[in-house]
Homo-oligomer: A and B are copies of this chain.
């Protein structure tokens, strides 16, 4: 026998059982995106390397999957040239959906209608070291509006978060912050130049605690006085509105900081009006890694399951600048399909119908029985009820095992007795109960269920 086939490290096959669950997640997310007026977009899996390189930092450049030029390129190159990946590769696999989206917007700038509301659900690839929960191929689900500063967009994304997780049955908390407030804080404590150091450190507040954050801030060059000024902000508690009141006082000398406070007031005001069934918390320790955010930032955590954030995003003012188009502001959020999947498996949240691909299986007991079964089968299929007949006249035991292993909820048995009675035996595989259903009532029996 040939060598047992395998797949590359960090990649996955998705079995029918997994696929049905994944499709349920994607379909739910997609339906909510569509309801909010976002339109689908897809970009190619490969981009020119020039589009990708330099966009994700030095580390990111290393993690890009590069595609070898096709054709007889190698013969023309010296060995020194061959050593450089850039000579033998012009294309690379998409690393995220954001850079291709920015590239698309710049390339199709003249055809697009702004504000441009798009969603994109596609796989991305990273040559990362594979480990539990980290794959080399995984899906991202991004939704963005680009071309407007309106805070209604932030509110819309919050509503989308509420709708998606309500539909999936996951209880979540949405944490929000604002990069302008973070800048205001840095400015107020006299370290406007150290905003990145400050945000990187306070981003760890949850994980390493206040004292360690203070130590890290010292290491990053902040003086004790500045850290003392920062402390009340890190320890701030109360409602969102109370926090914003406090911040308004603290940041009174920072124009940017006050602008951030104002933005959050507007956003929280709209959220309150919308009467969302969602816990939204202003969390000043939320910084999010990416440096391109310039306004509101979001992060969603599952309340009943321990796993990192399952969704996140924010406002950026210069996404397309890297491709030469300045001044387009946008805001977006990304849903982490793999983690959402893990939460739903962990909390057993998938509806029962997501577990089977076929709802009704007809066993196959002979030529005449098969003919009668095929007739009824066509009636069910005309109603789009997923159904099938066992294709061979195999032993009953084998056919029932097939039904069991495929989690088919209803098995229909038509033997000679049933033929004589013009009625099928319908077995509910979960309860084990059997029932006779007249051929004439058969379709209605399943469509009414």
Mark A residues whose CB is within 8 Å of B.
Answer: 1-8, 11-16, 19-20, 22-23, 31, 34-48, 50-51, 62-63, 65-68, 70-71, 74-75, 79, 82-83, 85, 88-91, 93, 103-104, 106-108, 111, 113, 115, 117-118, 123, 125, 127, 136-137, 145, 148-150, 152-153, 156, 159, 163, 270, 273-274, 322-325, 357-358, 361, 370-371, 374, 378, 381, 384-389, 391-392, 402, 405-406
A42 to chain B, nearest CB (A): 4
| Beta-carbon nearest neighbor of A105 in chain B | B5
Residue from A23, A145, A150 with most neighbouring chain B CB atoms (10 Å): A150
A8: contacting residue among B75, B91, B270, CB under 8 A: B91
> With a CB–CB cut-off of 8 A, which chain B residues contact A36?
381, 386-388
In the complex, the answer to whether B70 meets A127 with C-beta atoms within 8 Å is yes
Assembly CA distance A384 to B323 (angstroms): 36
- The reply to whether B37 and A358 contact each other, CB–CB distance below 8 Å, is yes
Inter-chain contact A374/B45, CB cutoff 8 Å? no
Nearest Cβ on chain B to A430's Cβ, whole angstroms: 18
A386 touches B137 (CB 8 A): no
Q: Decide if A13 touches B44 in the complex (CB within 8 Å).
A: yes
Among B8, B88, B148, the residue within 8 A (CB) of A90 is B8
Complex: A117 Cα to B387 Cα, angstroms: 12
Q: Which residues of B contact A63 (CB under 8 A)?
A: 70
In the complex, the answer to whether B392 meets A44 with C-beta atoms within 8 Å is no
Residues of chain B within 8 A of A67, CB atoms compared: 65-68, 93
* CB pair B41 A19 closer than 8 Å: yes
With contacts A70-B63, A74-B83, A104-B13 taken as known, whether A46 is within 8 angstroms of B8 at the C-beta atoms is yes
Residue of chain B at shortest CB distance from A391? B150
Evaluate whether A107 and B137 lie within 8 angstroms (CB atoms) in the complex, with A70-B62, A385-B35 already known. Answer: no
**In the complex, A14 Cα to B44 Cα: how many Å?**
8
How far is it, in angstroms, between the C-alpha of A385 and the C-alpha of B377 when the chains are bound?
Answer: 34
Q: A107 is contacted by which of B5, B14, B38, B48 (Cβ under 8 Å)?
A: B5
Task: List, in ascending order, chain B residues with CB within 8 A of A11's CB.
Answer: 44-46
Enumerate 7 A-B pairs (CB-CB under 8 Å) in ascending A order: A4-B324, A8-B48, A37-B361, A68-B89, A150-B391, A152-B370, A152-B374
Query: Complex: how many Å from CA A333 to CA B142?
Result: 33
Question: How distant is the Cα of A296 from the Cα of B70 in the complex, in angstroms?
Answer: 36
Q: Which residue of B lies closest to A72 (CB)?
A: B62
> Is the pair B384, A44 in contact by a Cβ cutoff of 8 Å?
no
**Inter-chain pairs besides A6-B48, A7-B103, A38-B357, 16 sampled, C-beta below 8 Å:** A11-B46, A12-B44, A13-B42, A13-B43, A13-B44, A19-B40, A34-B357, A34-B386, A45-B45, A62-B70, A79-B79, A117-B357, A148-B391, A150-B392, A152-B374, A152-B389
**Are the C-beta atoms of B85 and A68 separated by less than 8 Å?**
yes
**B6 contacts A107, CB within 8 Å?**
yes
